[in-house]
């Protein structure tokens, strides 16, 4: 990686004037310089940001919604002016911020390609030479000759990305633009970004995907409340970000203070006021802030699922896990009425609800478990967390045979929330780690010709 600087941000602050009533803007225009502040309040979106990004480096900006990530990118791209401080950018920059926002709806796709390409610094001759590649990447067919106002949002996104990505930028800035579009298009976009990275371009992007950050980035920075709290390796920053993001509200100020001072090796003080020992960075532990807020309970029919949680194989309750290790998903069921052919089950899901896999205590129609009213049973599902870094959810359910066939006596969707810790040097991609072990062999010339 070159030591030459691509982007340098010094003492950057950005404030916005917030007006309680629309007419206060007008009143401020006629107010004296001494009294103008009475008509608005200042919202500080960025506060004293200092950052250097080297040429050829790929950096992620992570943080919660409203932390100032998009504002920082817009100031770097020049679409917003800083209130204080300075930004130096060395090289041609292409920004994928609000895709399609610069299109003229009355112009055709072709005309907008030339318009956007000019804005991004290309000459008309350069755009003409690249037009076929842009049209092929967008893959919107004959709509390229139709007004953009007739496009679907997905078509506009495709065309906007195709233009930006074919400008051969020195610096590529992406603000979650790839969260739109279908899966095939997203994959094509990531492949193109990889090509740009391979040429030595600088990439700066915002992402909430821990797997993407770990896979693509050399470095990451954490923004919160407009303040740059820390920067470092993706694994280091993501672990602190998740700790802050899922902490109870009353503990977040203390965690921010620790991150700001560099003292992030200790866990928070529990509600009881008793300090607890810190867990090593790579050690599994229980984070009280990881509580699902999307839990849904089915109508109960004589049973209650209680205390669903994850344990280590030696019995410690945890919810921050290491990929590849074994754990036990545990919950109890109290029966208010008898159950015949009782079965219990679990399911692991992604944030979007994609069901990755689960298990049941007996195949359909094979259970011989009978439980009387007043009894309790405990289910223990031992599983291997063969998952990529990220947040996951678990279901819990108990069913029994009744007059209508097998029905749920109780079921909890998103009963438990857990996180798989980042790990540097991972070769696996996607959601599930299938234990892939790559091997390269140098072929002799005779073998290579076969």
Closest CA to 285 of 247, 324, 311: 311
From first to last of its 450 residues, the chain has per-residue pLDDT tens of: 445 899 999 999 998 877 777 777 777 777 777 676 677 678 888 999 999 999 999 999 999 888 899 899 989 988 889 999 999 999 888 777 765 556 888 999 999 999 888 877 788 999 999 999 999 888 888 999 999 999 887 788 788 888 887 877 889 888 765 555 565 676 677 778 778 888 889 999 887 777 678 777 889 999 999 999 999 888 788 878 877 876 777 878 888 888 887 754 433 333 333 333 334 456 899 988 888 878 888 889 899 999 999 999 999 999 999 999 999 999 999 999 999 999 999 999 887 677 899 999 999 889 999 999 999 999 999 999 999 888 899 999 999 998 778 899 999 989 999 999 887 777 777 788 887 788 888 888 765 555
What pLDDT does 233 receive?
A: 85
Question: Cβ neighbours of residue 149 under 8 Å, at least 6 residues apart?
Answer: 105, 106
Q: What share of the chain is helix, strand, coil (3-state, %, to 5)?
A: 25, 35, 40
pLDDT reported for residue 446: 66
pLDDT of residue 57: 92
Q: What pLDDT score does 351 carry? A: 78
Return the CATH class of domain 296-420: mainly beta
pLDDT of amino acid 187: 67
Query: What is the pLDDT at residue 265?
Result: 44
> For the whole model, what pTM was predicted?
0.60
Give the 3-state secondary structure of residue 243. helix
Tokens of 291: 């509580």
Q: How many CA atoms lie within 13 A of 307 on its CB side?
A: 11
Q: Could you tell me where the beta strands, DSSP code E, fall in 176-277?
A: 202-206, 219-224, 227-232
The superfamily in CATH containing domain 5-91+170-224 is P-loop containing nucleotide triphosphate hydrolases (3.40.50.300)
Distance CA(14)–CA(226), nearest Å, equals 9
The answer to whether 5-91+170-224 and 296-420 have equal CATH topology is no
- The domain ranges of the chain are 5-91+170-224, 296-420
CB 286 within 8 A of CB 270: no
Backbone angles phi, psi at 173, to 5 degrees: -115, 125
Query: Is the separation of the CB atoms in 287 and 270 below 8 Å?
Result: no
Instruction: Give me 125's structure tokens.
Output: 């001759």
């Amino acid at each position: 990686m070159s030591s030459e600087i691509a982007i340098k941000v010094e003492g950057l602050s950005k404030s916005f004037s917030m007006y309680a009533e629309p007419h206060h803007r007008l009143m401020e225009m006629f107010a004296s310089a001494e009294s103008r502040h009475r008509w608005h309040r200042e919202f500080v979106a960025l506060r004293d940001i200092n950052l250097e990004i080297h040429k050829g480096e790929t950096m992620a900006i992570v943080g919660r919604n409203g932390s100032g990530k998009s504002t920082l990118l817009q100031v770097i791209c020049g679409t917003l002016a800083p209130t204080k401080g300075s930004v130096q950018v060395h090289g041609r920059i292409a920004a994928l911020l609000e895709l399609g926002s610069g299109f003229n709806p009355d112009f055709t796709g072709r005309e907008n390609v030339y318009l956007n390409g000019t804005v991004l610094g290309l000459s008309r001759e350069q755009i003409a030479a690249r037009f076929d590649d842009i049209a092929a990447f967008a893959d919107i067919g004959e709509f390229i000759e139709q007004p953009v106002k007739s496009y679907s949002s997905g078509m506009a996104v495709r065309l906007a990305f195709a233009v930006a990505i074919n400008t051969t930028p020195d610096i590529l800035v992406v603000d979650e633009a790839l969260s739109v579009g279908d899966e095939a298009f997203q994959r094509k976009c990531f492949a193109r970004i990889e090509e740009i990275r391979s040429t030595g371009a600088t990439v700066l992007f915002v992402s909430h995907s821990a797997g993407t950050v770990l896979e693509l980035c050399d470095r990451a920075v954490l923004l919160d409340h407009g303040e740059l709290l820390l920067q470092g390796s993706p694994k280091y920053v993501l672990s602190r970000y998740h700790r802050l993001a899922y902490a109870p509200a009353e503990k977040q100020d203390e965690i921010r203070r620790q991150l700001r001072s560099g003292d992030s090796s200790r866990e928070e003080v529990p509600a009881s006021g008793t300090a607890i020992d810190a867990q090593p960075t790579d050690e599994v532990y229980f984070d009280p802030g990881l509580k699902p807020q999307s839990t849904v309970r089915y109508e109960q029919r004589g049973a209650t699922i209680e205390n669903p949680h994850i344990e280590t194989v030696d019995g410690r309750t945890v919810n921050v896990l290491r990929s590849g290790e074994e754990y036990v998903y545990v919950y109890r069921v109290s029966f208010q009425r008898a159950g015949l052919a009782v079965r219990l089950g679990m399911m692991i899901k992604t944030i979007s609800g994609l069901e990755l896999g689960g298990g049941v205590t007996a195949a359909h129609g094979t259970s011989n478990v009978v439980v009387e009213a007043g009894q309790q049973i405990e289910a223990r599902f031992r599983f291997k967390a063969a998952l990529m870094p990220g947040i996951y959810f678990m279901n819990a359910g108990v069913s029994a045979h009744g007059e209508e066939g097998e029905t749920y006596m109780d079921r909890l969707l998103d009963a438990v929330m857990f996180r798989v810790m980042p790990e540097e040097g991972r070769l696996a991609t996607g959601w599930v780690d299938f234990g892939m072990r790559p091997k390269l062999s140098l072929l002799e010339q005779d073998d290579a010709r076969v």
